[in-house]
Amino acid sequence: MDKHKFSALISLFLLLVSVSVFAGDRMRFTSQLMLRYERQTFTQIPLPRDAVNRYRLRWRPGLLFLPHPDLELAIEGEANVIEESDEDVPAPRSPEFHTPVFDRDNFKRDDVVLSRAYLRYTPVPQLDLRAGKFENPFLVTEMLWDNDLHPNGVALQTEYVSADEKIRLTGRIADYYASHYQDDRTNVFAVQGGVQTRLGNATVTFATAYYDYDVKELPVFLFRTNTRSDPTLINDYNLLDLIGRVRFNFSIPLVVQLDHVHNTAAPDTSMPLVNAVRLNRLRSPNSPKATTDHTIPTGRGNDGILAEILIGKLDVARDFRIGYGFHRVESDAVLAAYSTDDWWFVTRVKGHRFRFSFMPVQSVLFHFSFLRQTLIDQVGSFSRLQISTEINWP
Protein backbone atom coordinates (compact mmCIF):
# COMPACT_ATOMS: atom_id res chain seq x y z
CA MET A 1 0.00 0.00 0.00
CA ASP A 2 1.22 3.50 -0.85
CA LYS A 3 2.64 5.00 2.36
CA HIS A 4 1.47 8.51 1.48
CA LYS A 5 -2.11 7.34 0.88
CA PHE A 6 -2.11 5.34 4.10
CA SER A 7 -0.80 8.34 6.04
CA ALA A 8 -3.53 10.48 4.46
CA LEU A 9 -6.17 7.97 5.59
CA ILE A 10 -4.84 7.96 9.16
CA SER A 11 -4.88 11.75 9.15
CA LEU A 12 -8.46 11.72 7.87
CA PHE A 13 -9.39 9.22 10.60
CA LEU A 14 -7.95 11.43 13.36
CA LEU A 15 -9.60 14.52 11.88
CA LEU A 16 -12.99 12.79 11.67
CA VAL A 17 -12.78 11.59 15.27
CA SER A 18 -11.75 15.03 16.52
CA VAL A 19 -14.46 16.85 14.58
CA SER A 20 -17.19 14.42 15.67
CA VAL A 21 -16.23 14.78 19.34
CA PHE A 22 -16.68 18.56 19.28
CA ALA A 23 -19.60 18.74 16.85
CA GLY A 24 -22.19 17.17 19.14
CA ASP A 25 -25.29 15.40 17.86
CA ARG A 26 -25.10 16.86 14.37
CA MET A 27 -21.96 14.97 13.44
CA ARG A 28 -21.15 11.29 13.92
CA PHE A 29 -17.96 9.37 13.25
CA THR A 30 -18.32 5.90 11.73
CA SER A 31 -15.83 3.08 11.30
CA GLN A 32 -16.20 -0.40 9.81
CA LEU A 33 -13.39 -2.93 9.99
CA MET A 34 -13.54 -6.27 8.17
CA LEU A 35 -11.05 -9.11 8.50
CA ARG A 36 -11.50 -12.03 6.08
CA TYR A 37 -9.84 -15.37 5.45
CA GLU A 38 -10.71 -17.39 2.37
CA ARG A 39 -9.52 -20.63 0.85
CA GLN A 40 -10.04 -21.43 -2.83
CA THR A 41 -9.73 -25.02 -4.06
CA PHE A 42 -9.97 -26.43 -7.59
CA THR A 43 -10.74 -29.83 -9.11
CA GLN A 44 -10.25 -31.24 -12.62
CA ILE A 45 -8.67 -28.21 -14.23
CA PRO A 46 -6.18 -28.30 -17.14
CA LEU A 47 -3.15 -27.30 -15.03
CA PRO A 48 -2.09 -28.59 -11.60
CA ARG A 49 -3.23 -26.04 -9.04
CA ASP A 50 -2.72 -25.83 -5.29
CA ALA A 51 -5.35 -24.32 -3.05
CA VAL A 52 -5.02 -20.58 -2.46
CA ASN A 53 -5.20 -19.07 1.03
CA ARG A 54 -6.12 -15.43 1.03
CA TYR A 55 -6.31 -12.72 3.71
CA ARG A 56 -8.08 -9.39 3.34
CA LEU A 57 -8.32 -6.41 5.68
CA ARG A 58 -10.77 -3.63 4.80
CA TRP A 59 -11.23 -0.45 6.81
CA ARG A 60 -13.83 2.27 6.16
CA PRO A 61 -13.63 5.36 8.38
CA GLY A 62 -16.27 8.01 7.70
CA LEU A 63 -18.11 11.07 8.95
CA LEU A 64 -21.87 11.70 8.85
CA PHE A 65 -22.97 15.34 9.16
CA LEU A 66 -26.62 16.35 9.82
CA PRO A 67 -26.77 20.16 9.40
CA HIS A 68 -30.59 20.03 9.16
CA PRO A 69 -33.24 17.34 9.86
CA ASP A 70 -33.85 17.11 6.10
CA LEU A 71 -30.21 17.09 5.01
CA GLU A 72 -27.42 14.53 5.33
CA LEU A 73 -23.79 14.86 4.23
CA ALA A 74 -21.31 11.98 4.37
CA ILE A 75 -17.72 11.19 3.45
CA GLU A 76 -15.96 7.84 3.79
CA GLY A 77 -12.54 6.46 2.88
CA GLU A 78 -11.59 2.84 2.27
CA ALA A 79 -8.31 0.93 2.61
CA ASN A 80 -7.73 -2.67 1.53
CA VAL A 81 -4.75 -4.91 2.26
CA ILE A 82 -4.48 -8.33 0.57
CA GLU A 83 -2.11 -11.25 1.12
CA GLU A 84 -2.24 -14.48 -0.94
CA SER A 85 -0.39 -17.74 -0.48
CA ASP A 86 0.67 -17.96 -4.14
CA GLU A 87 1.99 -14.42 -4.61
CA ASP A 88 5.56 -15.71 -4.99
CA VAL A 89 4.65 -18.49 -7.45
CA PRO A 90 5.80 -17.69 -11.01
CA ALA A 91 3.24 -17.48 -13.83
CA PRO A 92 1.32 -19.25 -15.23
CA ARG A 93 -0.72 -19.98 -12.12
CA SER A 94 -4.20 -19.73 -13.60
CA PRO A 95 -6.90 -19.67 -12.38
CA GLU A 96 -6.19 -16.97 -9.83
CA PHE A 97 -7.82 -13.94 -8.25
CA HIS A 98 -5.97 -11.14 -10.00
CA THR A 99 -4.07 -11.13 -13.31
CA PRO A 100 -3.20 -8.57 -15.99
CA VAL A 101 -5.97 -10.03 -18.19
CA PHE A 102 -8.63 -11.16 -15.67
CA ASP A 103 -9.68 -9.57 -12.39
CA ARG A 104 -12.23 -11.03 -9.97
CA ASP A 105 -12.00 -8.25 -7.34
CA ASN A 106 -14.41 -5.32 -7.01
CA PHE A 107 -12.14 -3.32 -4.72
CA LYS A 108 -8.79 -1.56 -4.96
CA ARG A 109 -6.15 -3.97 -3.73
CA ASP A 110 -3.50 -2.65 -1.35
CA ASP A 111 -4.63 0.93 -1.78
CA VAL A 112 -6.69 3.76 -0.27
CA VAL A 113 -9.69 5.19 -2.15
CA LEU A 114 -12.71 7.40 -1.58
CA SER A 115 -15.58 5.04 -0.79
CA ARG A 116 -18.51 7.47 -0.40
CA ALA A 117 -19.12 11.23 -0.60
CA TYR A 118 -22.74 12.28 -0.99
CA LEU A 119 -25.56 14.65 -0.11
CA ARG A 120 -28.99 13.26 0.81
CA TYR A 121 -32.13 15.42 0.94
CA THR A 122 -35.39 14.10 2.47
CA PRO A 123 -37.83 17.04 2.89
CA VAL A 124 -40.70 14.57 3.50
CA PRO A 125 -40.68 10.83 4.26
CA GLN A 126 -42.04 10.14 0.77
CA LEU A 127 -39.12 11.79 -1.06
CA ASP A 128 -35.44 10.84 -1.00
CA LEU A 129 -32.88 12.58 -3.26
CA ARG A 130 -29.20 11.59 -3.31
CA ALA A 131 -26.28 13.05 -5.23
CA GLY A 132 -22.60 12.12 -5.18
CA LYS A 133 -20.99 8.75 -4.49
CA PHE A 134 -23.36 6.54 -2.48
CA GLU A 135 -24.47 2.97 -1.90
CA ASN A 136 -26.73 1.59 -4.62
CA PRO A 137 -30.23 2.71 -3.49
CA PHE A 138 -32.11 0.15 -5.61
CA LEU A 139 -33.46 -3.16 -4.36
CA VAL A 140 -30.83 -5.53 -5.81
CA THR A 141 -29.18 -8.88 -5.15
CA GLU A 142 -25.49 -9.70 -5.44
CA MET A 143 -26.11 -11.24 -8.87
CA LEU A 144 -26.57 -7.74 -10.28
CA TRP A 145 -24.53 -5.49 -8.01
CA ASP A 146 -21.65 -5.97 -5.56
CA ASN A 147 -21.82 -4.05 -2.28
CA ASP A 148 -18.12 -3.09 -2.57
CA LEU A 149 -19.08 -0.77 -5.44
CA HIS A 150 -20.63 2.67 -4.91
CA PRO A 151 -21.92 4.53 -8.01
CA ASN A 152 -21.42 8.23 -8.76
CA GLY A 153 -24.49 10.20 -9.82
CA VAL A 154 -27.99 11.10 -8.72
CA ALA A 155 -30.94 8.98 -7.50
CA LEU A 156 -34.52 9.87 -6.60
CA GLN A 157 -36.96 7.72 -4.63
CA THR A 158 -40.65 8.36 -4.04
CA GLU A 159 -42.99 6.37 -1.84
CA TYR A 160 -46.68 5.99 -1.08
CA VAL A 161 -47.96 4.28 2.08
CA SER A 162 -51.63 3.45 2.58
CA ALA A 163 -53.49 4.77 5.64
CA ASP A 164 -53.44 1.34 7.32
CA GLU A 165 -49.74 0.90 6.32
CA LYS A 166 -50.51 -2.45 4.68
CA ILE A 167 -49.50 -1.33 1.18
CA ARG A 168 -46.29 0.48 0.24
CA LEU A 169 -45.55 1.59 -3.33
CA THR A 170 -42.01 2.67 -4.24
CA GLY A 171 -40.56 4.27 -7.36
CA ARG A 172 -36.85 4.84 -8.02
CA ILE A 173 -34.98 6.50 -10.87
CA ALA A 174 -31.24 7.07 -11.17
CA ASP A 175 -28.53 8.12 -13.56
CA TYR A 176 -24.98 7.36 -12.51
CA TYR A 177 -21.54 6.22 -13.50
CA ALA A 178 -21.03 2.64 -12.34
CA SER A 179 -17.42 3.65 -11.63
CA HIS A 180 -15.52 0.50 -10.87
CA TYR A 181 -12.34 1.13 -8.90
CA GLN A 182 -10.44 1.07 -12.21
CA ASP A 183 -12.02 4.46 -13.07
CA ASP A 184 -14.23 3.23 -15.89
CA ARG A 185 -16.90 5.57 -17.30
CA THR A 186 -19.82 3.17 -17.76
CA ASN A 187 -23.04 5.17 -17.49
CA VAL A 188 -26.22 3.56 -16.14
CA PHE A 189 -29.78 4.79 -16.40
CA ALA A 190 -32.10 2.82 -14.14
CA VAL A 191 -35.75 2.81 -13.08
CA GLN A 192 -37.48 0.55 -10.57
CA GLY A 193 -41.02 0.14 -9.30
CA GLY A 194 -41.94 -1.90 -6.26
CA VAL A 195 -44.90 -2.91 -4.13
CA GLN A 196 -44.89 -4.28 -0.60
CA THR A 197 -47.94 -5.60 1.23
CA ARG A 198 -48.77 -7.44 4.44
CA LEU A 199 -50.72 -10.67 4.14
CA GLY A 200 -51.40 -12.06 7.57
CA ASN A 201 -48.08 -12.90 9.16
CA ALA A 202 -46.15 -12.41 5.93
CA THR A 203 -44.69 -9.40 4.12
CA VAL A 204 -44.61 -9.77 0.32
CA THR A 205 -42.38 -7.61 -1.89
CA PHE A 206 -42.19 -7.39 -5.69
CA ALA A 207 -39.85 -5.12 -7.63
CA THR A 208 -39.25 -4.65 -11.35
CA ALA A 209 -36.26 -2.70 -12.64
CA TYR A 210 -34.71 -1.76 -15.98
CA TYR A 211 -31.00 -0.95 -16.29
CA ASP A 212 -29.47 0.57 -19.43
CA TYR A 213 -25.66 0.28 -19.39
CA ASP A 214 -23.61 2.49 -21.72
CA VAL A 215 -20.16 0.92 -21.49
CA LYS A 216 -17.31 3.42 -21.79
CA GLU A 217 -13.60 2.90 -21.11
CA LEU A 218 -14.17 -0.36 -19.21
CA PRO A 219 -10.80 -2.14 -18.82
CA VAL A 220 -10.59 -5.44 -20.72
CA PHE A 221 -9.69 -7.47 -17.63
CA LEU A 222 -13.07 -6.50 -16.11
CA PHE A 223 -14.97 -8.11 -19.01
CA ARG A 224 -14.48 -11.36 -17.11
CA THR A 225 -16.76 -14.09 -18.48
CA ASN A 226 -18.98 -11.89 -20.67
CA THR A 227 -18.94 -12.71 -24.42
CA ARG A 228 -16.29 -10.60 -26.08
CA SER A 229 -14.25 -10.04 -29.22
CA ASP A 230 -11.09 -8.49 -27.84
CA PRO A 231 -10.88 -5.72 -26.93
CA THR A 232 -14.65 -5.14 -27.07
CA LEU A 233 -17.74 -6.60 -25.45
CA ILE A 234 -19.95 -8.15 -28.13
CA ASN A 235 -23.27 -7.37 -26.45
CA ASP A 236 -24.95 -4.35 -24.98
CA TYR A 237 -26.44 -4.71 -21.50
CA ASN A 238 -30.04 -3.56 -21.07
CA LEU A 239 -31.29 -5.58 -18.14
CA LEU A 240 -34.81 -6.39 -17.01
CA ASP A 241 -34.69 -7.49 -13.37
CA LEU A 242 -37.58 -9.10 -11.42
CA ILE A 243 -37.34 -9.67 -7.67
CA GLY A 244 -39.92 -11.44 -5.52
CA ARG A 245 -39.53 -11.75 -1.76
CA VAL A 246 -41.70 -13.21 1.02
CA ARG A 247 -40.82 -12.64 4.68
CA PHE A 248 -42.65 -14.71 7.28
CA ASN A 249 -42.59 -12.70 10.51
CA PHE A 250 -42.18 -15.58 12.95
CA SER A 251 -40.19 -15.29 16.18
CA ILE A 252 -37.33 -16.50 14.00
CA PRO A 253 -38.02 -14.83 10.62
CA LEU A 254 -37.97 -16.78 7.38
CA VAL A 255 -37.26 -15.06 4.03
CA VAL A 256 -37.63 -16.65 0.58
CA GLN A 257 -36.35 -14.63 -2.38
CA LEU A 258 -36.12 -15.11 -6.13
CA ASP A 259 -34.27 -12.81 -8.54
CA HIS A 260 -34.51 -13.30 -12.31
CA VAL A 261 -32.58 -11.08 -14.72
CA HIS A 262 -32.81 -11.01 -18.52
CA ASN A 263 -30.53 -9.06 -20.85
CA THR A 264 -32.84 -7.71 -23.54
CA ALA A 265 -29.87 -6.50 -25.63
CA ALA A 266 -28.18 -9.90 -26.02
CA PRO A 267 -29.04 -11.85 -29.19
CA ASP A 268 -30.81 -15.18 -29.41
CA THR A 269 -28.43 -17.76 -27.94
CA SER A 270 -29.30 -20.24 -30.67
CA MET A 271 -27.50 -18.03 -33.20
CA PRO A 272 -23.87 -18.79 -34.12
CA LEU A 273 -21.48 -16.28 -32.62
CA VAL A 274 -20.66 -14.72 -36.01
CA ASN A 275 -24.33 -13.86 -36.54
CA ALA A 276 -24.58 -12.43 -33.03
CA VAL A 277 -21.72 -10.07 -33.83
CA ARG A 278 -23.33 -9.02 -37.11
CA LEU A 279 -26.63 -8.37 -35.37
CA ASN A 280 -24.98 -6.13 -32.81
CA ARG A 281 -23.12 -4.24 -35.56
CA LEU A 282 -26.55 -3.22 -36.82
CA ARG A 283 -27.42 -2.03 -33.31
CA SER A 284 -24.16 -0.19 -32.69
CA PRO A 285 -21.61 1.07 -35.25
CA ASN A 286 -18.87 0.69 -32.61
CA SER A 287 -19.36 -3.06 -32.28
CA PRO A 288 -16.47 -5.28 -33.43
CA LYS A 289 -16.22 -6.73 -36.91
CA ALA A 290 -17.76 -10.14 -37.47
CA THR A 291 -15.46 -13.08 -36.84
CA THR A 292 -15.43 -16.49 -38.48
CA ASP A 293 -16.09 -18.31 -35.21
CA HIS A 294 -19.33 -20.27 -35.69
CA THR A 295 -19.14 -22.01 -32.32
CA ILE A 296 -21.54 -21.28 -29.49
CA PRO A 297 -19.47 -20.96 -26.29
CA THR A 298 -20.49 -23.11 -23.33
CA GLY A 299 -22.84 -21.29 -20.98
CA ARG A 300 -23.65 -18.58 -23.49
CA GLY A 301 -27.02 -16.91 -22.89
CA ASN A 302 -28.84 -13.89 -21.50
CA ASP A 303 -30.71 -15.13 -18.40
CA GLY A 304 -29.72 -15.40 -14.77
CA ILE A 305 -31.48 -16.67 -11.66
CA LEU A 306 -30.68 -16.45 -7.95
CA ALA A 307 -32.91 -18.25 -5.41
CA GLU A 308 -32.28 -17.78 -1.69
CA ILE A 309 -33.68 -18.92 1.66
CA LEU A 310 -32.71 -17.02 4.84
CA ILE A 311 -33.61 -18.00 8.41
CA GLY A 312 -33.05 -15.59 11.31
CA LYS A 313 -32.08 -11.92 11.66
CA LEU A 314 -29.12 -9.73 12.63
CA ASP A 315 -30.55 -6.85 14.66
CA VAL A 316 -29.30 -7.27 18.25
CA ALA A 317 -26.72 -9.25 20.23
CA ARG A 318 -27.00 -13.06 19.96
CA ASP A 319 -28.99 -12.88 16.72
CA PHE A 320 -28.08 -15.29 13.91
CA ARG A 321 -28.91 -15.94 10.27
CA ILE A 322 -28.62 -19.10 8.17
CA GLY A 323 -28.82 -18.91 4.39
CA TYR A 324 -28.76 -21.07 1.28
CA GLY A 325 -28.63 -19.82 -2.29
CA PHE A 326 -28.61 -21.36 -5.76
CA HIS A 327 -27.57 -19.40 -8.83
CA ARG A 328 -27.36 -20.10 -12.55
CA VAL A 329 -26.10 -17.16 -14.57
CA GLU A 330 -25.50 -17.37 -18.31
CA SER A 331 -22.64 -15.51 -19.98
CA ASP A 332 -24.41 -12.24 -20.79
CA ALA A 333 -27.24 -12.11 -18.27
CA VAL A 334 -25.46 -9.32 -16.34
CA LEU A 335 -22.46 -7.07 -16.88
CA ALA A 336 -19.90 -9.13 -14.98
CA ALA A 337 -17.76 -6.14 -13.94
CA TYR A 338 -20.39 -5.11 -11.37
CA SER A 339 -21.69 -8.46 -10.14
CA THR A 340 -20.53 -9.95 -6.83
CA ASP A 341 -16.89 -10.87 -6.30
CA ASP A 342 -17.80 -13.25 -3.45
CA TRP A 343 -18.59 -15.89 -6.06
CA TRP A 344 -15.62 -17.32 -7.96
CA PHE A 345 -17.16 -16.71 -11.39
CA VAL A 346 -20.16 -14.43 -11.92
CA THR A 347 -21.42 -15.57 -15.36
CA ARG A 348 -21.29 -18.80 -17.41
CA VAL A 349 -21.68 -20.50 -14.04
CA LYS A 350 -24.01 -22.30 -11.67
CA GLY A 351 -23.48 -22.99 -8.00
CA HIS A 352 -24.65 -23.41 -4.43
CA ARG A 353 -23.76 -21.27 -1.44
CA PHE A 354 -24.29 -21.85 2.28
CA ARG A 355 -23.96 -18.98 4.78
CA PHE A 356 -24.10 -18.51 8.53
CA SER A 357 -23.82 -15.22 10.45
CA PHE A 358 -23.79 -14.54 14.19
CA MET A 359 -23.78 -11.34 16.26
CA PRO A 360 -22.21 -12.21 19.66
CA VAL A 361 -22.36 -8.59 20.86
CA GLN A 362 -23.84 -5.46 19.35
CA SER A 363 -21.93 -4.16 16.29
CA VAL A 364 -19.73 -7.26 15.95
CA LEU A 365 -20.56 -9.87 13.31
CA PHE A 366 -19.06 -13.20 12.32
CA HIS A 367 -19.77 -14.58 8.83
CA PHE A 368 -19.15 -18.05 7.42
CA SER A 369 -19.71 -18.86 3.73
CA PHE A 370 -19.07 -21.93 1.59
CA LEU A 371 -19.49 -21.79 -2.20
CA ARG A 372 -19.33 -24.66 -4.71
CA GLN A 373 -19.48 -23.70 -8.39
CA THR A 374 -19.13 -25.31 -11.80
CA LEU A 375 -19.00 -23.66 -15.21
CA ILE A 376 -22.25 -24.40 -17.05
CA ASP A 377 -22.15 -27.82 -18.77
CA GLN A 378 -18.58 -28.46 -17.60
CA VAL A 379 -17.13 -30.78 -14.97
CA GLY A 380 -14.42 -28.89 -13.11
CA SER A 381 -15.59 -27.35 -9.84
CA PHE A 382 -14.43 -24.46 -7.70
CA SER A 383 -14.91 -24.25 -3.93
CA ARG A 384 -14.53 -21.08 -1.90
CA LEU A 385 -14.59 -20.87 1.89
CA GLN A 386 -14.86 -17.42 3.49
CA ILE A 387 -14.66 -16.59 7.21
CA SER A 388 -15.10 -12.91 8.13
CA THR A 389 -15.25 -10.72 11.20
CA GLU A 390 -16.95 -7.34 10.88
CA ILE A 391 -16.69 -4.63 13.54
CA ASN A 392 -18.83 -1.49 13.30
CA TRP A 393 -17.88 1.37 15.61
CA PRO A 394 -19.33 3.36 17.26
The answer to whether residues 63 and 28 touch, using CB atoms and an 8 Å cutoff, is yes
pLDDT score recorded for residue 215 = 92
State the chain's mean pLDDT as an integer. 86
Residue among 366, 373, 371 nearest 384 (CA): 371
124, with CB counted inside 10 A (0-12, 13-18, 19+), is: exposed
- Return d(Cα 97, Cα 103) in angstroms, integer: 6
pLDDT at 270 over 70: no
Reduce the DSSP state of residue 76 to 3 states and report it.
strand
- Confidence category of residue 195, pLDDT binned at 50, 70, 90: very high
- Confidence category of residue 181, pLDDT binned at 50, 70, 90: confident
Quote the pTM value.
0.86
Region 347-374: mean pLDDT is 96
Give the angle 370-81-16 at the CA atoms, nearest 5°: 115
Q: What percent of the chain has pLDDT over 70?
A: 82
Q: What is the pLDDT of residues 222-254, one digit of tens each?
A: 999 999 887 889 999 999 999 999 999 999 999
User: Between these two residues, 282 and 375, which has the higher pLDDT value?
Assistant: 375
- Return d(Cα 334, Cα 226) in angstroms, integer: 8
Which range has highest mean pLDDT (15-24, 101-110, 175-184, 248-257)?
Answer: 248-257
DSSP 98: B
Q: What is the pLDDT of residues 286-334, one digit of tens each?
A: 444 434 343 445 678 999 999 999 999 999 999 999 999 999 999 999 9
Measured from the Cβ of residue 348, the count of other Cβ atoms closer than 10 Å reads 24
Residue among 211, 194, 212 nearest 203 (CA): 194
pLDDT score recorded for residue 3 = 61
pLDDT at 337 over 70: yes
Region 373-394: mean pLDDT is 90
